Chains A and B, each alone.
Chain A
Amino acid sequence: MALTLTEEERAIASGGTGEGAAMAMRIVAETARLMGAPRLLPIASAHIDGALYHGDSGTLFAERLVEGGARVTVRSTLNVGSIDLTGCSKNRLGDHERAMARRMMDAYRRLGCEPSWTCAPYQAGHRPALGSDVAWGESNAVVFCNSVLGGRTNRYGDFLDIACAIAGKAPYYGLHRAENRRARIVFDISAIDPAFLASEVAWPILGNLYGRLLGDAVGVVAGAAVHPDEDALKAFGAASASSGAVGLFHVAGVTPEAPDLATALHHQEPEEIIRVTPEMLAETRRRLSTVADVSAIDAVAIGSPHLSIAEFDRLEALIAGRRLRVPLYACTGRHALNLLDEAGRRRRLEDCGVIIVADTCVVVTPILPEKDGAVLMTNSGKFAHYAPGNTGYGVLYGSLAECVESAVAGRPVFVKEAA
């Protein structure tokens, strides 16, 4: 079906409200045409992943929009940038890259975006209503928005996210359509020990496996003896969206479009049932680490997605005032940082050897020191996936408790295996 634009949309695209708005509308309309969308639909909000520096052309694009007088027309939060503007952490970008990255972050603010600089906007007060259409970028934010909140978004990439935010419109296709939100595959975890499901590592490991097996298909997790909390769903989604291209998952009895299994399946038969075994999880857990039998670690990184204040509570309790032998990088957003600062908690964590990283994270910008053969320990399925390629560090995967004990000891410390 050919794309039909309204008279107003056509007028905006031809410059009636300024060249910046026109450029944004043309980009949205052209994408709609490419994807076979019949029309555009209004959106309630946007989350913008485009302010991460990949090269000068992205900065010049954002500045062109600013020069053209464009402004976002819906609430728009910003994902991480390449620079920690709070000054909590330092990076190793060259002078030119740092200047262009900063100009890029400035341009997105001038377009009217909120300087949230977090990949967990859903824990920073931006939570779309169930059934509302939005245009979100950043794979973990997309999957959380669709799955846990029931907001409807496709996986919006660079340029299209900001173009939608300015136009206030998005192409009507994909996960905006109710029929495409039906689970086609059942991911049955009823054979998994409830004690393991209650452990912190269960959901990132399940998420990594789910993403690898499902790719971009919509599925439903069924048979969970222990229901995941919000931070567990966040870890599951982030892991699944880095090992696969997952945009939406359901958990029967937990997520809003899956009050029960039959509803998630839209009362149709599943195309496939995957029965998860303890062996599959043990294998997945092994794959998350890229090194084994090392006698020392060089750093610990946590906070992908960005840590919530509840996760900082657990971190503080586990460190219990002890001095860390290797640095522990804790990535978060200002929503949590401000609360830490108010209570004087940031300083106490830093005194123990924690390096808070705000506005950005250790896999998208060079923060970790360069060192041949270095080893990073993490409890994040997403960090485990991206760290080897993006930082050069080998990865050891463990729980938060294991990460903290290892940071205190300066060498890997594992507690009894749960899976």
Chain B
Amino acid sequence: MTATKTVLQADVLVPGSAVRAEALVLTAPISFWGGVNPQTGLIADVRHPQHGVSISGRILCLPGTIGSSSAAAVLLELVYAGLAPAAIILNEPDAILLLGLIVAREMGHAVPPGLCLDKEEFPRFASRVLSINADGGILIEAL
């Protein structure tokens, strides 16, 4: 029969346990500092297309990151407050943002995985439930 599942392979930048959650695909790059509220997990940048949406518990697909070098501090604060995304998928490695996960792991927190995948793949994730295994395999669950 026709396949109802799709499997993609992402590179693992920061390893984490397997996760299953709904994807949130951002349609514009974001600056975490000033762009995401660390106390609420909501996108705070009024000029961002997904302004007001919560990134907490979602598989956050980022087409790009911009701006301040304090992005890692905001991401660490989100992990600390239990408001972090379930996983982060980046178009390219971003040391400043991912440092938030590296430091969170050093501080003994359970850390969402950080993955790298071509952003051309992101649109098909929109509002779908994804399962990501520890090796970076991404399964798009059937509707």
Chain A residues near B (Cβ < 8 Å): 23, 26-27, 30-31, 34-36, 49-50, 52, 54-58, 60-61, 64, 137, 139, 155-160, 245, 389-390
* B137 interface residue (CB < 8 Å to A): no
Query: Which 6 pairs between the two chains have the least Cβ-Cβ distance?
Result: A157-B69, A55-B77, A57-B80, A54-B73, A158-B73, A157-B96
* B30 interface residue (CB < 8 Å to A): no
Given contacts A23-B106, A26-B106, A55-B38, contact A159 B80 (CB under 8 A): no
Q: How far, in angstroms, from A155 to B68 measured CA to CA in the complex? A: 10
Please determine whether A156 and B69 come into contact, CB atoms closer than 8 angstroms.
yes
Q: Which residues of B contact A159 (CB under 8 A)?
A: 72-73, 76, 99-100, 102-103
Within 8 A of A (CB), among B56-112: 66-74, 76-77, 79-81, 93, 95-96, 98-100, 102-104, 106-107
Q: Which residue of A lies closest to B104 (CB)?
A: A57
Task: Give which listed residue, A35, A36, A60, contacts B107 with CB less than 8 A.
Answer: A60
CB distance from A374 to the nearest CB of B (A): 19
Q: Chain B: interface residue count, which band?
A: 20 to 34
Please determine whether B73 and A30 come into contact, CB atoms closer than 8 angstroms.
no
Within 8 A of A (CB), among B21-38: 33-34, 38
Please determine whether A54 and B69 come into contact, CB atoms closer than 8 angstroms.
no
Q: Please name 7 pairs of A and B residues whose Cβ atoms are closer than 8 Å in the assembled complex, sorted by A.
A: A23-B106, A31-B95, A31-B99, A31-B102, A34-B14, A137-B69, A389-B34
Please determine whether B99 and A27 come into contact, CB atoms closer than 8 angstroms.
yes
* B42 interface residue (CB < 8 Å to A): no
* B13 interface residue (CB < 8 Å to A): yes
Q: Which residues of A contact B93 (CB under 8 A)?
A: 34-36
Please determine whether A157 and B71 come into contact, CB atoms closer than 8 angstroms.
yes
Q: Which residues of A contact B67 (CB under 8 A)?
A: 245
Q: How far, in angstroms, from A263 to B20 measured CA to CA in the complex? A: 54
Q: Which residue of B lies closest to A50 (CB)?
A: B73
Please determine whether B70 and A54 come into contact, CB atoms closer than 8 angstroms.
yes
Q: Which residue of B lies closest to A24 (CB)?
A: B106
Q: Which residue of B lies closest to A386 (CB)?
A: B34
Q: How far, in angstroms, from A245 to B95 measured CA to CA in the complex? A: 15
Interface membership of chain B positions 37-63, coded 1 if the CB is closer than 8 angstroms to chain A and 0 otherwise: 011000000000000000000000000
CB distance from A213 to the nearest CB of B (A): 15
Please determine whether B99 and A57 come into contact, CB atoms closer than 8 angstroms.
no
Q: How far, in angstroms, from A61 to B100 measured CA to CA in the complex? A: 11
Q: Which residues of B contact A158 (CB under 8 A)?
A: 69-70, 72-73, 99
Q: Which residues of A contact B100 (CB under 8 A)?
A: 159
Please determine whether B76 and A58 come into contact, CB atoms closer than 8 angstroms.
yes
Q: Which residues of A contact B107 (CB under 8 A)?
A: 57, 60-61, 64
Q: Which residues of B contact A155 (CB under 8 A)?
A: 69, 96
CB distance from A249 to the nearest CB of B (A): 18
Q: Which residues of A contact B33 (CB under 8 A)?
A: 54
Q: How far, in angstroms, from A30 to B106 measured CA to CA in the complex? A: 11
Sample of 15 more A-B contacts, CB < 8 Å, known A31-B95, A54-B73:
A31-B99, A34-B13, A34-B93, A35-B93, A49-B70, A50-B73, A57-B80, A57-B107, A60-B107, A157-B72, A159-B73, A159-B99, A159-B102, A160-B95, A160-B96
Q: How far, in angstroms, from A323 to B100 measured CA to CA in the complex? A: 48
Q: How far, in angstroms, from A242 to B102 measured CA to CA in the complex? A: 26
Please determine whether B95 and A34 come into contact, CB atoms closer than 8 angstroms.
yes
Q: How far, in angstroms, from A54 to B71 measured CA to CA in the complex? A: 10
Task: Give which listed residue, A35, A55, A64, contacts B73 with CB less than 8 A.
Answer: A55
Q: Which residues of A contact B72 (CB under 8 A)?
A: 157-160
Please determine whether A27 and B73 come into contact, CB atoms closer than 8 angstroms.
no
CB distance from A242 to the nearest CB of B (A): 9
Q: Which residue of A lies closest to B79 (CB)?
A: A57
CB distance from B136 to the nearest CB of A (A): 15
Task: Give which listed residue, A26, A54, A137, A245, contacts B77 with CB less than 8 A.
Answer: A54
Task: Give which listed residue, B14, B70, B77, B102, contacts A57 with CB less than 8 A.
Answer: B77
Q: How far, in angstroms, from A36 to B74 measured CA to CA in the complex? A: 24
Given contacts A26-B106, A159-B72, contact A245 B66 (CB under 8 A): yes
For A57, A155, A245, the residue with the greatest tally of chain B CB atoms inside 10 Å of its CB is A57
Q: How far, in angstroms, from A137 to B106 measured CA to CA in the complex? A: 21
Task: Give which listed residue, A27, A49, A50, A55, contacts B106 with CB less than 8 A.
Answer: A27
Please determine whether A58 and B99 come into contact, CB atoms closer than 8 angstroms.
no
Please determine whether A52 and B70 come into contact, CB atoms closer than 8 angstroms.
yes
Q: Which residue of B lies closest to A64 (CB)?
A: B107
Please determine whether B77 and A58 come into contact, CB atoms closer than 8 angstroms.
yes
Q: Which residues of A contact B79 (CB under 8 A)?
A: 57
Q: How far, in angstroms, from A56 to B77 measured CA to CA in the complex? A: 7
Q: How far, in angstroms, from A213 to B69 measured CA to CA in the complex? A: 20
CB distance from B73 to the nearest CB of A (A): 4
CB distance from A255 to the nearest CB of B (A): 23
Q: Which residues of A contact B106 (CB under 8 A)?
A: 23, 26-27, 64
